[in-house]
């Protein structure tokens, strides 16, 4: 096959009880109550071109370093028994997931385990994540850790009697903020905000408190208090911040955050330019605003692209376009 070029993926919408019918900046409104748009994950399918219909996992499996780059084999993601084995991921897994969250109602107060705890409790991978706030209603808040460190029995009691909502550290959600949430951080969201989420390839969540909400099936959603208490780090209180500008012309680049599992930047552009891929690593571009084209492929908000490591420079265009770029550090 010829050189791998940028690959486009369309979002998969997931209904959530805390979601909304208004999924701007994606095209809407939507009949279902959407809480998450999964823009890129192992099961995402190429939207067009020669590889149309192929899943991300199958591309990783077939093309290896041509797609992923040399950093793939030197990163924390790669173990002795092949890609992903160090973290317990299946063969062919892409290490990063990109989503857009529509938090119209109260997200449960929850925690994600780290790798060791996830493997011990669920045979899965841990979940560190990064939030970038793209929109926020007046009064929207991010719950980022507890106000004070709590012993496990104190955290469990607060979850059972509901006082954990008052013991959470609520901060205003403002567009342009970013926050890195290490695994173990007790967190939540309320009041109406739209977030771009970059995370480890994991879907493990332990709920501490859910406000007595019924799920989409009309039944109370289950809690996982015992497991949540085991993995929670109530000393973790991440601070929202503004990104740091790295470059400005012709594409404004702002660094959002970095951890052992991924790094993320915000790109914004309003004129044509040449995009330079990184030959050492694959890049995920998640469009969060505007419209335009990459390598002649049109995009709207919610679309995602994989930029293979072996790609050549290609033209990009856009109108008020913004994208979160994620990659292995």
Domains of the chain, with CATH numbers? 8-242 (2.60.120.10), 244-327 (2.60.120.10)
Residue 5's Cα: distance from chain center in Å? Answer: 23
Q: What angle do CA 311, 36, 277 make, to 5 degrees?
A: 10
Give the residue ranges of DSSP H helices in the chain. Answer: 56-63, 65-68, 71-74, 115-122, 152-161, 164-167, 225-231
User: In terms of DSSP bridges, do strands 193-200 and 12-20 run parallel, antiparallel, or are they unpaired?
Assistant: unpaired
What do you get for the CA distance between the two ends of the chain, in Å?
28
pLDDT, position 182: 98
Question: Rounded distance, CA 73 to CA 87, Å?
Answer: 13
Question: Rounded distance, CA 67 to CA 83, Å?
Answer: 13
pLDDT, position 83: 56
Each of the 329 residues of the chain gets a pLDDT tens digit; together they read 689 999 999 999 999 999 999 998 887 778 899 999 999 999 999 999 999 999 999 999 999 999 999 988 776 665 555 555 555 566 678 999 999 999 999 999 999 999 999 999 999 999 999 999 999 999 999 999 999 999 999 999 999 999 999 999 999 999 999 999 999 999 999 999 999 999 999 999 999 999 998 888 889 999 999 999 999 999 999 999 988 777 777 899 999 999 999 999 999 999 999 999 999 999 999 999 999 999 999 999 999 999 999 999 999 999 999 999 999 99
pLDDT, position 139: 96
pLDDT, position 13: 95
Question: Rounded distance, CA 308 to CA 285, Å?
Answer: 11
pLDDT, position 243: 82
pLDDT, position 76: 61
DSSP for 122-170 reads HSS----EEEEEEEE-TT-EEEEEESS---HHHHHHHHHHSTHHHHEEE
């Amino acid at each position: 096959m010829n050189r791998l070029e940028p690959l486009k993926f369309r979002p998969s919408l997931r209904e959530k009880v805390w979601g909304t019918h208004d999924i701007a900046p994606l095209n809407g409104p939507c009949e279902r109550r959407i809480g998450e748009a999964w823009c890129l994950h192992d099961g995402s399918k190429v939207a067009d071109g020669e590889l149309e219909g192929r899943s991300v996992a199958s591309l990783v499996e077939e093309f290896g370093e041509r797609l992923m780059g040399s950093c793939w084999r030197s990163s924390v993601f790669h173990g002795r028994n092949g890609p992903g084995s160090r973290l317990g991921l299946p063969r062919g897994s892409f290490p990063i997931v990109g989503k857009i969250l529509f938090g119209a109602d109260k997200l449960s107060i929850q925690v994600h385990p780290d790798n060791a705890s996830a493997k011990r409790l669920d045979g899965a991978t841990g979940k560190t994540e990064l939030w970038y706030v793209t929109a926020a209603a007046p009064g929207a808040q991010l719950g980022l850790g507890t106000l004070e460190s709590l012993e496990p029995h104190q955290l469990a009691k607060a979850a059972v009697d509901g006082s954990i909502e008052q013991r959470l550290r609520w901060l205003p959600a403002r567009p342009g903020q970013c926050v890195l949430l290490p695994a173990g951080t007790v967190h939540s969201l309320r009041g109406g905000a739209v977030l771009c989420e970059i995370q480890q390839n994991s879907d493990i969540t332990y709920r501490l408190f859910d406000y007595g909400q019924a799920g989409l099936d009309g039944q109370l959603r289950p809690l996982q208090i015992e497991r949540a208490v085991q993995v929670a780090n109530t000393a973790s209180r991440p601070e929202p911040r503004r990104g740091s500008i790295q470059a400005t012309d012709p594409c404004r680049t702002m660094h959002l955050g970095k951890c052992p599992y991924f790094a993320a930047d915000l790109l914004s552009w309003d004129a044509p330019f040449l995009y330079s891929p990184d030959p050492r690593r694959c890049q995920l571009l998640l469009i969060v605003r505007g419209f335009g084209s990459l390598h002649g492929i049109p995009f709207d908000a919610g679309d995602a692209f994989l930029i293979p490591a072996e790609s050549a420079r290609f033209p990009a265009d856009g109108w008020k376009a913004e994208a979160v770029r994620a990659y292995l550090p």
